[in-house]
Structure 1
């Protein structure tokens, strides 16, 4: 983290944080508006219908909409605790879980220097994160993206610190909940971490088998049909879909061969760049590149899925590119893509309506790989290489050029020199699209605030 300009006194810093917090609160309460915890309502209604009413997982629909559960069956199993909660408690639990997951993500990305940043920098960081559209949408939709990112980055931390015995567990669990994190298993194979890849695969398989045992019919339906039906998730050409498939769909190119060719090219670039990052020992960059690639090649990448880009900004800051990180981050806070929600045609729609896709692509192509100077351990200076201060009992000596043995001061000068060289938008109505942000899309309705408390056809008592 680069040092921000800060007031000189604690009172001044506290005042600056309070002013920024008020501004951020005003922005998030008026400009983007909340998403009514729509995705959480899907999870809650699905689990309650399944457990308390004998319904089937993939038959549930949020009242007034055509949207239901779209994740693998294990995700429903993992969300079974929702069956014990009331509606308001479920929302509170979602907020707490997302905040806890975000704390884990920040601690991992900050690395060993996290204690040096101080409360002021962390407070500024939290205020800036509140503006990040993918993150604020994840929270206000009640999504699980931050939790999955924390699980994956936990494995990144284990690999980076040489404690890879349990590496792969987090990736396996994340891949069993959503398919996108499965690309990290491929990263482990590219890096030669076969044990970690095997662990991730085994965990994902065991979780999937548990779901088969819990509901065989739901598992059969998902893996043989629902998985391949992207129409159940939403329109490919909707502006919230910031994947390569979304770009092509908005251009009117819906053929699979062209999309497959673009995906293969993107994966080729990802393989080349991620292998270089792993070879340099930079696991954070390798995981960041994989997150960006996953967002690009996934058929549907809603805006809230772009929390997978957060590691990229940590890499940029650590590599000494704060201006680049700040500029890209600012774009992802603006909700700019929604200016073309109704019509993404023309050069403006191509550039602006796909702005987040271009950021993902730029990060994949240009993210620095290799440890930055700040991450490289300084060369240890040996105690023997430092000459003791002269004393009356042992005066300092002067080296003689033609001595057969080097003097201690000569060794000190060489060691000291070597060590020194090494150390150097306007207010809009809430979206009617479950994956939307600030601009409505009439073709894909979402239930209104009047229906926000409806979770099941026969809601269970809170």
Structure 2
């Protein structure tokens, strides 16, 4: 058998074994939520369209949970009211899987090319690992929209931004109109001085919101005057699944969480994030800016359920990317791979749930908030790339534009040692040419 065929057969075997191992793991570790959030969406829209009720008056009995997204989200999801329950599940799962594969492919494909890995094999392995990732499996089992929103933002920052597209901002605006939390990416555009893109995002979000208000004035009035302010609809802040800074503060004193402490933590976090994002975009590292903003969104949002932590996935992938770009066998590569492996393993483990019924004491503080600590570590330690500058590539921003020279995610770069070697070689070549 030819060597290429043998390699392919081996890779197929690895994927089959890995898929079997992940399936066995999910049969034990995955919690079945019965597509609870999808039931809320489907029930609220059916109640609105077919039963003559208001979408924000619907509650999923016997719980107190109802439709919490802005009216534009109800407009986008409106076709769901005409789908059977089982078809709604098929559409939800299919859309989540396709959006996830697209984002993973965009981030990993350059790594596969640089490392000489088969592209299909890289994507297949990554898809298996993503299926075991607790935030991803929670997103699927709840029927959540997290990956669809992440995809909309990724289209802007991973596809359009590197090309300097004038449409940059549309995806962020749509995501913000569907669910308010992706609005942090609009702030990201402002922090990194992409004024036009920020205006496009703001205009898109505003136009989407106004179109929903024009079509559904009663629903819009109820959302912005009542439902938006009703925090009881989203759940308890101290609940173990709330892996945000607000969750940490609430678990310190569930009865009287300190708003001042939370605001101080949020302010410090945003300062660090803004500085790191500006540094990343200044050298053309849009992918890291995108990943850091997803991380900070999870930290500063008042409520970040575990399934929202799919926004950490780009940062974990970029850790692997940076590791593979570092010198083989070096401490940097080993350290980054260890960081990625530990973060991934913990976020597959359901570790925080062991403290669901009691999070007091030092162990409760440390382990009930462990996913938050991973987010903090990613915010502080995710490397910023410094792409090589050559005759075919001007320095980032050399033409005075905020997005000029932006490098696509996963583009090869030199590690610290390699950059020093390359610089020394250029100097030696320069001296030889001068002598001659």
TM-score for both structures, normalised by structure 1: 0.78
Once residues 416 and 156 of structure 1 are traced to their aligned partners in structure 2, the CA distance between those partners, rounded to angstroms, is 39
Q: Which residue of the other structure, out of 290, 296, 301, is the alignment partner of 1:298?
A: 301
Give the deviation of 1:163 after TM superposition. Answer: 2.9
Residue aligning to 2:72: 74
Give the deviation of 1:22 after TM superposition. Answer: 1.0
1:59-458 aligned at under 5 Å gives the runs 59-110=57-108, 112=110, 117-118=117-118, 119-252=120-253, 253-320=256-323, 321-371=336-386, 376=388
8 A contact 2:22–2:131 mirrored in 1? yes
Once residues 362 and 344 of structure 2 are traced to their aligned partners in structure 1, the CA distance between those partners, rounded to angstroms, is 23
Unaligned segments of structure 2, at least 5 residues: 324-335, 393-424, 431-436
8 A contact 1:101–1:147 mirrored in 2? yes
Unaligned segments of structure 1, at least 5 residues: 1-6, 381-412, 419-462
Show CA shifts across 1:146-176 (max 9, x none).
Answer: 0000110111124542332110000000001
How many residue pairs were aligned? 378
Report SS of the residue matched to 2:357.
coil
Q: 1:150 to 1:136 in 2, by over 3 A?
A: same
8 A contact 1:156–1:287 mirrored in 2? yes
Give the deviation of 1:415 after TM superposition. Answer: 10
Q: 1:117 to 1:223 in 2, by over 3 A?
A: farther
Give the deviation of 1:214 after TM superposition. Answer: 2.3
8 A contact 1:293–1:364 mirrored in 2? yes
8 A contact 2:292–2:378 mirrored in 1? yes
Q: 1:68 to 1:414 in 2, by over 3 A?
A: closer
Show CA shifts across 1:245-266 (max 9, x none).
Answer: 0000000051322211211111
Show CA shifts across 1:154-213 (max 9, x none).
Answer: 111245423321100000000011111101111111111111100100110011111112
Q: Could you say which structure has the higher helix fraction? A: 2
Residue aligning to 2:331: none
8 A contact 2:241–2:306 mirrored in 1? yes
Once residues 83 and 225 of structure 1 are traced to their aligned partners in structure 2, the CA distance between those partners, rounded to angstroms, is 24
Bigger drift between 113-122 and 359-368 goes to 113-122
Report SS of the residue matched to 1:166.
coil
Report SS of the residue matched to 1:235.
coil
Greater Rg over alpha carbons, structure: 1
Once residues 347 and 85 of structure 1 are traced to their aligned partners in structure 2, the CA distance between those partners, rounded to angstroms, is 49
8 A contact 2:186–2:198 mirrored in 1? yes
Once residues 20 and 114 of structure 1 are traced to their aligned partners in structure 2, the CA distance between those partners, rounded to angstroms, is 18
Once residues 79 and 300 of structure 1 are traced to their aligned partners in structure 2, the CA distance between those partners, rounded to angstroms, is 23
Report SS of the residue matched to 1:130.
helix
TM-score for both structures, normalised by structure 2: 0.82
Give the deviation of 1:112 after TM superposition. Answer: 4.2
Q: Which residue of the other structure, out of 28, 31, 39, is the alignment partner of 1:30?
A: 28
8 A contact 2:111–2:321 mirrored in 1? no
Once residues 180 and 312 of structure 2 are traced to their aligned partners in structure 1, the CA distance between those partners, rounded to angstroms, is 17
Once residues 49 and 417 of structure 1 are traced to their aligned partners in structure 2, the CA distance between those partners, rounded to angstroms, is 74
When the two chains are superposed, the root-mean-square deviation of aligned CA atoms in Å is 2.2
Give the deviation of 1:129 after TM superposition. Answer: 0.7
8 A contact 1:108–1:154 mirrored in 2? no
Residue aligning to 1:386: none
Give the deviation of 1:294 after TM superposition. Answer: 0.7
